[in-house]
Structure 1
Amino acid sequence: MWGGRARVLLRVWELWLAGVPGRGPLSSSAASQARSNTSRCWKCGGPGGAVLGDAFFCPQCRALQPPDPSRDYFSLMNCNRSFRVDTTKLQHKYQQLQRLIHPDFFSKRSQTEKDFSEKHSALVNEAYKTLLAPLSRGLYLLKLCGIEIDEGTDYEMDREFLMQIMEINEKLAEAQSEAATKEVESIVRAKQKEYTDSVNRAFEQDDFEKAKEILTKMKYFSNIEEKIKLKKIPL
């Protein structure tokens, strides 16, 4: 059991070095170079230029520093690396960070800082969007553990589940009134709540295969949610 856990932890460390989940790890020389590049401020050359915690600015010249490629979304948004996330605190952190690094506040700064600001802002937006929704948060957490769900896979879904999805899709297609559409929406929302609770328990038990199975089912229901949104748009 420990051997499997060790392999997972090793994979997580490799992904940290890569900066983006799913990419291969940096070589030792590349990793050293990356650490070296972030050890000093790009503008004044002073120490402490790395982005540590919320210190996005050089402590000496206050120039905005480039994004830290080693930070994952949980670290960036000051969240524990867990499926259970306080979305209220997440929203507050998002607003706090955007008040620091949004491009609107750098219109009179150097082009370098403008570019860094755009990169920071885009990264914070993506991190917030990913961690806010249970499905994308779970998928991202799996990625950090070296596990991905391939697009288009049925993940060996059982026949009963696939029949359920088919029936709900047919019911939505046949819905001719707002009340009928809301009935389907209520069914889908209840299933997503059930699956969210289940995947949370799976992550708490480090049962990543179970989490993968549940998240795959959530993707099916997420597709139905998108169809419901389209059905609500007036023609």
Structure 2
Amino acid sequence: MLPLNTLRVLCSPRALLHRSWLTTTRQCVYKTVTRRTSTCGPKEDTWHGNKDPKALGKERRRIYSPNPGSSNRSYCAGQVQLNCWSCKQPLDATSPFFCTSCNVIQSPEEDASYFKIMDCDVTFTLDTHKLQKRYLQLQRSLHPDNFSQKSGKEQQYSESHSALVNKAYRTLLKPLSRGLYMLELEGVRTDEGTDSGADSGFLMELMEINEAVDEARTPEDANKIGRDMKGKLAVLTEAIDAALLEGELQAAKALLAQMKYYANIEEKVKEKLSEFM
């Protein structure tokens, strides 16, 4: 596991200003990780410290599950054949919301992951434009208003589906909630993304940034801080993606804690800018 002291140094606000920070972080992750896989999946694949980071993109599909909604823990599980509650015909696994035979809405799959519901790749750097498009598509077809003349069961299923889609969309849209959810899928508990053991020096720098936001007297001053936060969050996003790709869940958890601090400051900057309007 990547030492927490190393994370504190690498994730300090000063270090985040430089692109070389990301390379250092990835090198540390590569040197400490041996990926484990399910006993019914591919054989154990050991990642060596001298692996070229540029090859990362070529290896993505080997680590993330190719099936949205499944995880490394369950991707080899057998599929259970289900039938439509109305016409009794077998359901198509590729159409989880409606029966392809009679077009009747089906009961929600309560244990389905949000990635499966939103038909997204199980990746931290998912395509948010595709996510938004999928959300609008599902809401148009599943919205309760469309089922006002249907049976009580169909109305109930519609309401449940719509609520579940809303929750999945909100969770996957933002990097922080998305990352925490990915850790949750892997059984890693998080306290709302906080890190009670954060370095005092790092917290002091955060206080200084917060004071700078409070003392900003012009939109230009606030915008400068906002740009700095966006830069830090962008670099953190890449580092978190690298950690998750390598299965370094505790490293990803610590990086997500850093992300929450910067995301809070970014929101504070937005509030400050609204005061100038």
* TM range, smaller chain: 0.7 to 0.9
In structure 2, what residue type is equivalent to 1:180? Answer: D
What SS does structure 1 have at the residue aligned with 2:104? coil
Aligned to 1:39: 82
Higher relative contact order (CA 8 A, sep 6+): 2
In structure 2, what residue type is equivalent to 1:177? Answer: T
1:123 aligns with 2:164: yes
Q: Percent identity?
A: 42
Q: Structure 2: how far apart are the matches of 1:174 and 1:84?
A: 34
Provide Cα deviations, 1:152-177, integer angstroms capped at 9, x if missing partner. Answer: 84342223321221111111111122
Q: Structure 2: how far apart are the matches of 1:2 and 1:174?
A: 47
State the shift of 1:232 in Å: 3.3
State the shift of 1:127 in Å: 1.3
Q: Which runs of 4+ in 1 moved over 6 A?
A: 1-4
Structure 2 unaligned regions, length at least 5: 1-32, 42-68, 70-79
Q: For the Cα contact (< 8 Å) 2:35–2:247, is it kept in 1?
A: no
Query: Given the superposition, is the C-alpha separation of residues 151 and 203 from structure 1 closer, same or farther in structure 2, using an over 3 Å criterion?
Result: closer
1:76-225 map, 5 Å: 76-151=117-192, 153-225=194-266
State the shift of 1:6 in Å: 5.1
State the shift of 1:67 in Å: 0.7
Provide Cα deviations, 1:138-157, integer angstroms capped at 9, x if missing partner. Answer: 11100000112214843422
Structure 1 unaligned regions, length at least 5: 10-18, 20-34
Q: Structure 1: how far apart are the matches of 2:273 and 2:246?
A: 39
Q: Structure 1: how far apart are the matches of 2:128 and 2:229?
A: 21
Q: Which of 85, 90, 93 is 1:48 aligned to?
A: 90
Q: Structure 2: how far apart are the matches of 1:174 and 1:3?
A: 47
Provide Cα deviations, 1:196-234, integer angstroms capped at 9, x if missing partner. Answer: 111011111111111001000111112222322333334
Q: Structure 2: how far apart are the matches of 1:2 and 1:228?
A: 40
Choose 134-143 or 123-132, whichever is displaced more. Answer: 123-132
State the shift of 1:54 in Å: 2.5
1:5-84 map, 5 Å: 39-44=82-87, 46-48=88-90, 52-84=93-125
Aligned to 1:229: 270
In structure 2, what residue type is equivalent to 1:64? Answer: I
Provide Cα deviations, 1:34-66, integer angstroms capped at 9, x if missing partner. Answer: x7xx9343344x1335x7332412344332111
Q: Structure 2: how far apart are the matches of 1:116 and 1:226?
A: 36
Alignment TM-score, normalising by the size of structure 2: 0.66
Q: For the Cα contact (< 8 Å) 1:94–1:124, is it kept in 2?
A: yes
In structure 1, what residue type is equivalent to 2:90? Answer: G
Q: Structure 1: how far apart are the matches of 2:224 and 2:242?
A: 28
Q: For the Cα contact (< 8 Å) 1:155–1:213, is it kept in 2?
A: no
Q: For the Cα contact (< 8 Å) 2:180–2:193, is it kept in 1?
A: no
Q: Structure 1: how far apart are the matches of 2:110 and 2:83?
A: 15
State the shift of 1:122 in Å: 1.6
Aligned to 2:49: none
Q: For the Cα contact (< 8 Å) 2:97–2:105, is it kept in 1?
A: yes
Q: For the Cα contact (< 8 Å) 2:195–2:254, is it kept in 1?
A: no
Query: Given the superposition, is the C-alpha separation of residues 149 and 41 from structure 1 closer, same or farther in structure 2, using an over 3 Å criterion?
Result: same
